[in-house]
Structure 1
Amino acid sequence: MTSQAGVGFMTGSGVFRLATAVAALCVSSPVMAQDRPWPHAPIHGGADVAGTSLSIDDLYQPKSLIGTSPEGYSWSRDGSTVLFLWNDEGASFRDVWSYSPRTGKKVRLTFLGRDSKPEAEQKGIAQAVALGNGRVAFTMGGALHIVSADGAIAKVETDKQAIRKLIVSPDGRRLAFIAGNTADSRNRVTLGGVLWVRDVAATADKAATRVAGNDDPKIYIDDYHWSADGKAIAFQQSDDSAMPERDIYYYAKGGLQNNRVIRAFPGEETSKASVGLVDLASGKTQMFERPDPKHHIWGFGLSSDGKRMFVSGSDMQAKEHTIYVYDVASGARETFYQLREPKHLRPDWQVAWAPGDDGLIILTDRDGWLHLYHQRAAGEKPRQITSGEWEIAEFDVDQARGQIYFIANKSYLSDRQIYRVPVAGGAVQQVSGQAAGTHEPVYSPDFRHIADWYSNDATPAELYLIDTAKPAKVAQVTKSPQPGFYKQTWANIGYVEFPSHVDGMNLVARLSLPANYDPARKYPVIVGSVYSDAVRNQWGGRRAHPTWGLDQYFVAQGYIVLNVNVRGSWGQGRDHNQTQLHSYGETDINDLESGVRFLVEKGYADPRRVGLWGSSYGGLMTIMSLSKKPGVYAAGIAGAPATNVWHAYPAQMWIMGPHEGPDMPARYEAQSALYQAKGIEDPLMIIHGTRDPVVLYSDTIALAEGMIDREQMFELVTLPGGNHAWASDNLRQARFAFKKMAEFFDRNVKNRK
């Protein structure tokens, strides 16, 4: 599993919300998704069956039954067109499409996926941006292509590799991108990152100009922003030179393979980050120094007049949030904002310039909940703009109208709705309508329209267009599910609330029931996949893992599926998430047990037939649960289990704590399943890919050796060459692993004697 910083196995950074229509939740009766439909009610085949009639192989096909979600939204500079990547036939290759809010016309611009082979689909189109005059630039397989207005495609910048992050300048004249800068002896690109700028009107044979970057592939630019006038680019550069490299040896394809990675453990040297500004006319680069370059950077931005730069960062433990503001002309630095919280563990901060460069808009949880603040000058007390027992996930500033658009769970924990509020403060207006679900917006440059990725528990993701002047005016752009989707009976999904059996904290869970649920029966239950941020009103619950079909299969076989919003998750405030500090495999697994107790107490669950599963951090929770709570679960499955926090990414120290101290090594051993597995009595299956660079397969072997020495029985499913996201590597492997899981749970949970 990956953390917010893109590394490690920590409680992740997904955010979620809840809907006004379900504000009066009753703990004895789940609120069903079909009670809150948008834009249409879910289609059910009838209440006489538990769920879908499809097998795992049927649910996971090369052409997906639920369709291919539209992704990669990108507006033209004038806001007249939005580009997106989509496949209207359910295949995995996404071509480039465009949509005009004015005409309502949707057009397919490329046809590369029409006859694509699996290897081509592996490459895929990663990003597309409008260049003007009907031309579009896109990246595929790390190469840059340009589509002309007549549909002809030209491959450009052929001497560069791993091209990514295309951004057109505000004046529309230039295209910037990052490209890899070297390859090894076997011609494999070592990603690296050099910043290039290319004239939009340039012919195919005209090469881009290198404007910033280093020849060393371990020193690379990973993010950048254009200045408002298009004359300069601010960028963030990372330096991995001091980090260790590790060989991950594994056998696959009939021989020994090596996945060599740059990978630090707690206490080892980490990446150093810096922010710079390059003036395109002179080529001069200016770096803005920070007191400790090893500290995290969470954001940076140049003021609209180009005179000031902010850098938002924190210490390595993410306990002290600091915002520096630099004078661009002199390089002088001032501490604009600073707040230290000893128990802080989620760096969900976001910062942006206020309209007219009048200070900064800051997203912070300084009052216990993530809300917006306006601070006009260094050291000034921030003025709170929003408040309440709900949280904001992210925001964008409409500079021209003095408004802030944001995503929040104001309506209910499982929802993510779109809202806006004046910078000056005032009433919060919901922009995304009243229907529950998850919205992921991309705003047009003038904020007149929103390209909205929307899904709910009953509806796979689609692209919608919202007119911000008339929020009720919503246009559906795509229809992704295949016809067979509407012929199936799907699970009834709702939400339940219950108190922790340990400290009484209110907990929320997503509950998937068979369509023909009978209150007189007690059902077998599968808790999982367990993870942080796992309660979301969207199809499949979690976007990151393709387990939607597995969950639907379990429900159709007569299981109930439960997902609990464990401590350390986003959305329920500081008191909820900070109890996870130094508590991997303790507070979180108590929350899971509270969910089981609730289902048993309310008559949903057969207490003898409860299974548990999760991957990465979820694998840690699974093994810890079986070890510390024997008998609560009939069996558990741990995928890529993070068993040894000594081998975590250093960023996990936000939760684990530092690698040194008087309570070490006891503190790390208490949070490591490797050292806590002695209590496992119930059936355990471990699924792990051998080339995993995030959670090492060697840690699974260390766990296996210990269990063998203690004569503890377990099952190990090895996926040769499988990566950390083993369910996403390829269709064949996912089907195999999911069928192994289904057989294991049927044998040890559903049909338990």
Structure 2
Amino acid sequence: MISYSVSGRALVVALMLATAGPVNIAAAQTQSHAPAQGTAKVPGTTLSIDELYRAKSLIGTTPEGYSWSADGATLLFLWNDEGYGFRDIWSYSVKTGKKTRLTMLGRDAKPEQRGIGQAVFLDRGRVAFTLGGQLHIRSANGTVTKVETDKQGIRKLAVSPDGRQLAFVSGTPADPRNRVAPGGLLWVRDTAATAGNVARRVAGDDDPKVYVDSFHWSDDSRAIAFEQADDRLMPERDIYYYAKGELQNNRVIRAFPGDETTKTRIGIVDLASGTTRFYERPEAKDPVWDYGLSRDGKRLFISGSDMEAKAHTVYVYDVASAARETFYTLREPKHLRPDWKVAWAPGDNGLILLTDRDGWLHLYHQPSAKAKPRQITSGKWEIASFEVDAAHNQLYFVSNQSYLSDRQLYRVPVAGGRIERVSTAAAGTNEPVYAPDFRHAANFYTNDTTPGELYLLDLAKPGSATQVTKSPQPEFYAQIWANIGYVEFPSHVDGLPLVGRLSLPANYDSTKRYPLIVGSVYSDAVQNQWGGRRAHPTWGIDQYFVAQGYIVLNVNVRGSWGQGRDHNQTQYNSYGETDINDLESGVRYLVDKGYVDPKRVGIWGSSYGGLMTIMSLSKKPGVYAAGIAGAPATNVWHAYPAQQWIMGPPTGKDMPARYEAQSALYQAQGIKDPLMIIHGTRDPVVLYSDTVALTEKMIAREQMFELVTLPGANHGWDTEGLDQTRFAFKKMADFFDRTVKNKK
């Protein structure tokens, strides 16, 4: 048993009790009270894992894929009002407040079909959309016609600003000997066309390893700027696995640190002449984070950095001559996160930069290459994203100004001055998509007790919101869900302030000490939204754990967004060290405060979270009773090269010791407590062979573990069908009940 020292820091919690009806997001929510002492006991949800994860989703199907009409009067979105997975197209009228289902394709869909991928307005009430990688057009009378039938993998639909042309990317017919590359050809089709294969190819290469990755229309609709990726020098790797009773091979293009990586070029194609010009950078292998044409079409910016994300550079080019100037540059030796964003300022008066040059991610205006960036926003909070409302000389941005876990919408004049909150007073997460005239925004809103819904924001009336969808099934409101809030505590190592998201049983009893599950552990794990992290469907397993009498904790570990550069840069070269100390600090704090039984603490996470789980069990014996590592990234020698922003380059006098210190494969000797590993054999992100390498070492050392192999499963092992999700989560629940909850 480990001893803990009392931190002396007061508990700060935002606890929002679930209700028996819909949550009114306009109601203010506080962040100031701890769990009510002596709260009357009420039952938590009694649902099983099978009942939580079902074909007709209890929490409903989230609305996605928002797209505005050119006049900002009508919104398209993808949704299923019955809770099934297939999303059809819906429209919403700003004037009448009426939503209408435009397609009924989900009624005949198979359970595994995910629905329509994207929908955009054309003209005369017509809508273009993708389904199964095929392009369709829905006429105003509801007739659906499949077009461009000679193309596969159609995606990234974008209508030109003048409304006359539709651009899209399609796959490249792959060489039969090589089907590993995604391919990507850029096409343009007249929106007036109603049938046939009439699109003309404007960019892309027949080699599927050279492909258009993204593109932007010019404001005058005469040109398209595009990003071309070239994977020809990257290695191909065979991932052999058994599934469906026979040997399979998932051959992928996959670089390890030190290998050749994707080379990126930005080009502009003139649609009238068909000519393309590329705008070269000094290092084509360095990543591009943003690019964009000026509104007059005369200049192009490209924002990029080195592979380690230590030096941020923005180049500006003269479109006609391709002459390049270095517009902005900043190098920070311990910089970690490539969160920079760039856009043209109103009137093409230089650039708006989102950068952490003062230690926090804020907005700056730089009118010319020789000018000093002028700071527009400031404070000990960070901005996640922004958009330029050029017509009104203002910037809309999403930030955590109100609280670390929040994502609220604000606006500020480009000239600086008063920041105005646009989203409602309710705590939570907002993800807006703005109408072309910035009069309204389609807003995905969620909080800790409310699954995500579509709201309409009237930007002329800050604080107002009209709910458009209601997704959860009636049974959702009959349950008593977890009591969720936030705790603040210092690191037990260096005192740095940390924040955790805490889920308590609805009938929490302050006289008891509860078993604790830390996880799923990851970076950016503390956010006020339904289910915590949305990358995995863990909302149900978290609720199940809490209903079974566990407390669940997520910690905003170093390397996470939201607490400034000083907070995250201490994670540099520190996978499995500083981060797992932060997790332990959360455990110590809850034990000190009397919430948790120190003998009954479990930890789990997937991918990077699996790395932290194995490192925690090895380096901190006795802190955790058991751990579950899903698809664990045990060997950073096999990480993506982009992860060098934390682990550093695979060169130098401190190699290979530096990489081995950050790899669980080489650090697992100390594991004495129960470990379960869950991994899919087809995984190209974290190789199953790395899990095998770890288990071989553990067997040689006579260390006990449990291995759950999911044949043919990919990296998202808990997202590949209900059967697999239920199976894996039941294995997890049984393991933690045996090793944590019922531990003697």
Q: TM-score range by the shorter chain?
A: over 0.9
Asked whether the equivalents of residues 184 and 190 of structure 1 are also in contact (C-alpha less than 8 Å), the reply is no
Residues 694-739 of structure 1: per-residue CA shift (max 9 Å, x gap):
0000000000000000000000000000110100011100000000
In the other structure, the counterpart of 2:451 is: 460
In the other structure, the counterpart of 2:108 is: 115
Q: Which has the higher contact order (CA 8 A, sep 6+)?
A: 1
Residues 528-555 of structure 1: per-residue CA shift (max 9 Å, x gap):
0000000010000111110000000000
Amino acid at match of 1:116: A
Aligned counterpart for 2:10 among listed residues 27, 33, 37: 27
2:45 is the alignment partner of 1:62: no
2:502 is the alignment partner of 1:515: no
Structure 1 segment 587-602 matched on structure 2, within 5 A = 587-602=578-593
2:664 is the alignment partner of 1:681: no
In the other structure, the counterpart of 1:612 is: 603
2:633 is the alignment partner of 1:646: no
In the other structure, the counterpart of 1:176 is: 167
1:597: Cα distance to partner? 0.2
Equivalent-residue separation in structure 1 for 2:195 and 2:229 (angstroms)? 31
In the other structure, the counterpart of 1:204 is: 195
In the other structure, the counterpart of 2:687 is: 696
In the other structure, the counterpart of 2:483 is: 492
TM-score of the superposition, structure 1-length normalised? 0.95
Structure 1 segment 550-565 matched on structure 2, within 5 A = 550-565=541-556
Equivalent-residue separation in structure 1 for 2:240 and 2:102 (angstroms)? 43
Q: Secondary structure at the match of 2:544?
A: helix
Aligned counterpart for 2:239 among listed residues 248, 252, 259: 248
Residues 251-309 of structure 1: per-residue CA shift (max 9 Å, x gap):
00010000000000000000000100000001010100100100110000000001000
Q: Secondary structure at the match of 1:362?
A: strand
Return closer, same or farther for 1:251/1:449 CA change in 2, 3 Å cut-off.
same
Aligned counterpart for 2:65 among listed residues 72, 88, 92: 72
Amino acid at match of 1:30: V
Q: Secondary structure at the match of 2:736?
A: helix
Return closer, same or farther for 1:189/1:295 CA change in 2, 3 Å cut-off.
closer
In the other structure, the counterpart of 2:83 is: 90
Structure 1 segment 327-406 matched on structure 2, within 5 A = 327-406=318-397
1:33: Cα distance to partner? 2.2
Equivalent-residue separation in structure 2 for 1:403 and 1:29 (angstroms)? 35
Q: Secondary structure at the match of 1:114?
A: helix
2:208 is the alignment partner of 1:217: yes
Asked whether the equivalents of residues 180 and 190 of structure 1 are also in contact (C-alpha less than 8 Å), the reply is no
In the other structure, the counterpart of 2:519 is: 528
Residues 42-61 of structure 1: per-residue CA shift (max 9 Å, x gap):
9xxx9534521100000000
Residues 144-181 of structure 1: per-residue CA shift (max 9 Å, x gap):
01100011110000000110000000000000000011
Equivalent-residue separation in structure 2 for 1:187 and 1:49 (angstroms)? 59
1:573: Cα distance to partner? 0.1
Residues 98-129 of structure 1: per-residue CA shift (max 9 Å, x gap):
0011110100000011121134x14x211100
Return closer, same or farther for 1:141/1:47 CA change in 2, 3 Å cut-off.
farther
Asked whether the equivalents of residues 162 and 191 of structure 1 are also in contact (C-alpha less than 8 Å), the reply is no
1:343: Cα distance to partner? 0.3
2:86 is the alignment partner of 1:99: no
In the other structure, the counterpart of 1:11 is: none
In the other structure, the counterpart of 1:307 is: 298
Equivalent-residue separation in structure 1 for 2:522 and 2:453 (angstroms)? 25
In the other structure, the counterpart of 1:194 is: 185
Amino acid at match of 1:132: D
2:285 is the alignment partner of 1:294: yes
Amino acid at match of 2:25: W
Q: Secondary structure at the match of 1:478?
A: coil
In the other structure, the counterpart of 1:441 is: 432
1:203: Cα distance to partner? 2.6
In the other structure, the counterpart of 1:38 is: 25
Asked whether the equivalents of residues 425 and 463 of structure 2 are also in contact (C-alpha less than 8 Å), the reply is no
Amino acid at match of 1:252: A
Q: How many residues end up aligned between the 2 structures?
A: 724
Equivalent-residue separation in structure 1 for 2:66 and 2:167 (angstroms)? 18
In the other structure, the counterpart of 1:324 is: 315
Q: Secondary structure at the match of 1:537?
A: coil
Structure 1 segment 208-287 matched on structure 2, within 5 A = 208-287=199-278
Q: Secondary structure at the match of 2:154?
A: strand
2:496 is the alignment partner of 1:505: yes
1:473: Cα distance to partner? 2.9
Deviating 4+ runs (over 6 angstroms): 186-189
Asked whether the equivalents of residues 424 and 465 of structure 2 are also in contact (C-alpha less than 8 Å), the reply is no
Equivalent-residue separation in structure 2 for 1:160 and 1:27 (angstroms)? 61
Q: Secondary structure at the match of 2:301?
A: strand
Equivalent-residue separation in structure 2 for 1:164 and 1:394 (angstroms)? 24
Equivalent-residue separation in structure 1 for 2:280 and 2:11 (angstroms)? 56
Aligned counterpart for 2:594 among listed residues 600, 603, 606: 603
In the other structure, the counterpart of 1:585 is: 576
Amino acid at match of 1:565: N
Amino acid at match of 2:90: W
Amino acid at match of 1:197: V
Asked whether the equivalents of residues 424 and 464 of structure 2 are also in contact (C-alpha less than 8 Å), the reply is no
1:239: Cα distance to partner? 0.3
Equivalent-residue separation in structure 1 for 2:193 and 2:538 (angstroms)? 45
Residues 416-471 of structure 1: per-residue CA shift (max 9 Å, x gap):
00000000000000000211000000000000000000000010000000000012
Amino acid at match of 1:305: D
Equivalent-residue separation in structure 1 for 2:397 and 2:407 (angstroms)? 10
Residues 21-73 of structure 1: per-residue CA shift (max 9 Å, x gap):
xxxx983352202499624699xxx9534521100000000010000000011
Asked whether the equivalents of residues 134 and 148 of structure 1 are also in contact (C-alpha less than 8 Å), the reply is yes
Mean CA deviation greater in 579-588 or 466-475: 466-475
